A and B are shown apart, each in its own frame.
Chain A
Amino acid sequence: MVEERLVAEPEGDHAQELVRRVMAEVHQEAARRRVEGGLQASELAELDELFARHAPVGAKGQRLADVLRHVDARSFVDPVVPVASKKAGGSALKRSIRSATQWYVGFVAHQVSQFAAAVSRALHVVDGELQAIHRELELVAPGPAPVLDLAGTHRVDGWWVAPVLAALDGVPGRVLHGGCGDGWLVEALGQRGCDAYGVDPRVDERTSRVDVRAEDVAEHLRGLAPASLGGVVLSGVLDGMAPAQRHQALEAALAALEEGGLLAIQAATPAAWDRPEAPGEVDLAPGRPLRTVGWEALCRRLEVAAEVREGPAGMDLLVLARARGQGAR
């Protein structure tokens, strides 16, 4: 029931793995060569500077150590001013100016380089400390929760789908389906004239005919503008989240709803997770699913009136809540 990748790329899988492996070897060997100093320091600095010159602005995905490498490359100020010129006599003139000012330029360049090197050293210390903190945080921070369909009800004839579709009729805006799979509910909502989109880390959005995105659902919820949606449906998303993650995701979902918007949650029950056929992901998940009373308590804590219904097989449940708008909370 756990779908690893909803749209597999069988021909590319082997090559993807090969590229991952080769790139890991490339990184390792490149790091070794940098430490061993195969290139002259000045040449390496020049090459690093060339690479950094048009690197993207955003730092996302770049490690501080990588950015610092470019800082290091730029921290040396060359006091030897180039003298090439296209004009006749230009080189000679520039050379004589350089000779006349060499001591002063060298003095200033030396101090600027020293300052830059000192700043760079300080940043390297910060980087070292941040890495240490990061390693410690990794031990305590919950990882991302998997999207799971343990009850086998993530399909259009699932027991909870009809009441959700009915409750979404006439909601005041777009509907988000978190844990959308291949977009089956987005498509069903579209057929009812409801404007919907989906988010799921497992999808391949390049092959989908509906608006689905390959994204972590919790991250997507955190990025939403206030009161920008008419409905949020979360299926199999919150089950394995740690309590704080779940609370934060729900707060974000409620904040994203317009007044009168619907929050619908389909989640597995603890019984579904305890079955022997449940996949290994449940053992590795940061949190455990809630019982009916747990959902009721959580909704009270979030100050939202909710109705909780248990599925016929006792393997999952449905929580329906109406947003009261930003001003009401």
Chain B
Amino acid sequence: MKVGFVTPRYGPEIMGGAESAARMLAEHLQARDGVEVEVFTTCALDHLTWKDELPPGVGELNGVRVRRFPSRAGRSAAFYGLDGRLRLAPREASLQEAERWVQLNGPVVPALVDALTRSDLDVVCFYPYLYYPTVRAIGRVPMPAVLHPAAHDEPALYLPVFGRTFASADALCYHTEAERRLVQQVYPETAATPQLVLGLGVATPPPARRPGGEVLGLGDRPYLVSVGRVDEHKGSVMLARFFAAYKERHPGPLALALVGPVAAEVPAHSDVVVTGVLDEQDKRDVVADALVAVSPSALESFSLVVLEAWTLGVPVMVNGTCGPTREHCEHAGGGLWFTSYEEFEVGLERLLADPGLRRTLGQAGRAYVDRHYRWPVLIDRYLAFLEGVLARGKGRRGSSERADQLARGRRAQALA
């Protein structure tokens, strides 16, 4: 089976959740007998500019064939004005405005779309829903198209241009049930589309090398850890501020480590350590010795960092408004969540005061990962799913005409 992946950025340098997910899935799929994976992507590394930084052409990365196309345009300066206006009431945007939003957001790569439509792929997987390559190609490709939306509850999801994107998919693959419910709530016409809740695999962590406190320069002090891009959008600033308020009311040795590339300035605090990017071993050591791993982001479609903490037996605290991470906690019994400062404070007090509770939650989280999120199991399920998509062929739902027909039906139903 020849499987294509379309993603706006691709490579080990990319920290974006959806792009990393696409790469992991592509590489694990390629390792299976009888599967050939080819990636269609751009030369960009930065999702804010889509500037061409990698050479165009065909290459290979970890056994996967990668075809890179230069962008005709990256993200336009005009994007921000339009985005700011449309995000206030995205459902009210006209189709033309939404189309323009996609164009200005970039990366504009018509050559990628053309090459894809001429390729000999058996099935093509688009990852995520949000960008030009997916929006422009999914309704045009002659082979069955699988959409991995990697959607979270953000204003863009409600822009009318994406109704056609979702309706054009021959099949959908989600990270979590929460993501599926969200997409189905916004685009009910996806309800009957073949779909799978897959998630992502978590690798077995390497053995410990040195204490996490040593890596952080904290010695024996207890600490919380938050792994991921240090960014206001990811909740890092909020977490740092919540932690500072907590420390004012609970003086003591507790520290907070923010681990990941720094994209936002965090208010300085003597108990907050911002490490920047750590190598995998150091990251593992830091997480393994943390009392609690905190995921403050409200906008996650899966959150590997939560699952990685669980593989190390560390309980988590997550943002309660983030459907996927909260779903993980509820299903696994591996963590608590907060929707206000008080809940953060009380939840943290409970976890810090009770080693037995931390141990029980950490172990439950690890068992949950072992049951559902190990690569061999996931790839078996994904391959069976792709075989089904292939057997079904390019469905009637796959055509733009059908997508429009469904949309018209919905509108008629709503009017009635």
B343 close to A57 (CB less than 8 A): no
Minimum distance in angstroms from B406 CB to a CB of chain A: 5
Sample of 7 more A-B contacts, CB < 8 Å, known A16-B330, A26-B346: A22-B350, A50-B242, A54-B232, A195-B392, A206-B372, A209-B384, A228-B192
Q: In the assembly, what is the distance between CA of A225 and CA of B410, in Å?
A: 6
Of the candidates A15, A46, A50, which one forms a contact with B333 in the assembled complex, judged by CB atoms under 8 Å apart?
Answer: A15
Q: In the assembly, what is the distance between CA of A61 and CA of B410, in Å?
A: 24
Q: Taking the complex as formed, is A168 at the interface, i.e. its CB lies under 8 A from any CB of chain B?
A: no
In the complex, which residues of chain A have a beta carbon less than 8 angstroms from the beta carbon of B90? 57
Of the candidates B153, B347, B384, B396, which one forms a contact with A57 in the assembled complex, judged by CB atoms under 8 Å apart?
Answer: B153
List the B residue with the shortest CB-CB distance to A47.
B341
Q: A14-B333, A211-B194 are in contact. Are A223 and B188 (CB under 8 A)?
A: yes
A 125-171 contacts with B by CB, 8 A: none
Q: Taking the complex as formed, is B289 at the interface, i.e. its CB lies under 8 A from any CB of chain A?
A: no
List 19 interface pairs A-B (beta carbons < 8 Å), by A numbering: A9-B331, A15-B334, A15-B360, A15-B363, A16-B333, A16-B364, A19-B330, A26-B336, A26-B350, A30-B340, A30-B343, A34-B342, A39-B341, A47-B242, A57-B158, A213-B195, A220-B191, A225-B409, A226-B409
Minimum distance in angstroms from A57 CB to a CB of chain B: 5
B199 close to A22 (CB less than 8 A): no
Identify which of B48-56, B94-102, B107-115, B176-184 touches chain A. Answer: B176-184
Of the candidates B154, B182, B336, B409, which one forms a contact with A23 in the assembled complex, judged by CB atoms under 8 Å apart?
Answer: B336
Q: In the assembly, what is the distance between CA of A209 and CA of B191, in Å?
A: 18
A226 close to B412 (CB less than 8 A): yes
A 29-45 contacts with B by CB, 8 A: 29-31, 33-34, 38-39, 43-44
In the complex, which residues of chain A have a beta carbon less than 8 angstroms from the beta carbon of B153? 56-58
- What 10 pairs between A and B have smallest CB-CB spacing? A15-B333, A15-B364, A56-B153, A30-B342, A16-B333, A223-B188, A226-B409, A47-B341, A225-B189, A11-B367
A55 close to B406 (CB less than 8 A): no
Q: Number of A interface residues at 8 Å Cβ cutoff, please give it.
A: 65
Q: In the assembly, what is the distance between CA of A206 and CA of B174, in Å?
A: 10
Q: Taking the complex as formed, is A87 at the interface, i.e. its CB lies under 8 A from any CB of chain B?
A: no
In the complex, which residues of chain B have a beta carbon less than 8 angstroms from the beta carbon of A25? 350
Q: Taking the complex as formed, is A306 at the interface, i.e. its CB lies under 8 A from any CB of chain B?
A: no
A 3-24 contacts with B by CB, 8 A: 9, 11-19, 22-23
**Number of A-B residue pairs with CB-CB distance less than 8 Å in the complex they form:** 186
Q: Taking the complex as formed, is B259 at the interface, i.e. its CB lies under 8 A from any CB of chain A?
A: no
Q: Taking the complex as formed, is A267 at the interface, i.e. its CB lies under 8 A from any CB of chain B?
A: no
In the complex, which residues of chain A have a beta carbon less than 8 angstroms from the beta carbon of B192? 174, 176, 197, 224-225, 228-229, 256
B341 close to A48 (CB less than 8 A): yes
Q: Taking the complex as formed, is A255 at the interface, i.e. its CB lies under 8 A from any CB of chain B?
A: yes
Give B residues with C-beta under 8 Å from A: 90, 152-155, 157-158, 177, 180-182, 184-186, 188-189, 191-192, 194-197, 199, 232-233, 235, 237-238, 241-242, 245, 249, 297-299, 321-323, 329-343, 345-347, 350, 357, 360-361, 363-364, 367-368, 371-372, 381, 384-385, 388, 392, 396, 406, 409-410, 412-413
Q: In the assembly, what is the distance between CA of A14 and CA of B298, in Å?
A: 27
Q: In the assembly, what is the distance between CA of A29 and CA of B343, in Å?
A: 8
In the complex, which residues of chain A have a beta carbon less than 8 angstroms from the beta carbon of B299? 54, 56
Give A residues with C-beta under 8 Å from B: 9, 11-19, 22-23, 25-27, 29-31, 33-34, 38-39, 43-44, 46-48, 50-51, 53-58, 60-62, 66, 69, 173-174, 176, 190, 195, 197, 205-207, 209, 211, 213-215, 220, 223-229, 255-256, 326
Interface-central residue, A15, A174, A256, by most chain B CB under 10 Å: A15
Q: In the assembly, what is the distance between CA of A214 and CA of B157, in Å?
A: 23
Q: In the assembly, what is the distance between CA of A56 and CA of B334, in Å?
A: 23
Of the candidates A43, A69, A223, A256, which one forms a contact with B184 in the assembled complex, judged by CB atoms under 8 Å apart?
Answer: A223
Q: A9-B331, A209-B384 are in contact. Are A30 and B345 (CB under 8 A)?
A: yes
In the complex, which residues of chain B have a beta carbon less than 8 angstroms from the beta carbon of A43? 245
A209 close to B381 (CB less than 8 A): yes
Minimum distance in angstroms from B34 CB to a CB of chain A: 18
In the complex, which residues of chain B have a beta carbon less than 8 angstroms from the beta carbon of A54? 232-233, 235, 238, 297-299
In the complex, which residues of chain A have a beta carbon less than 8 angstroms from the beta carbon of B385? 211
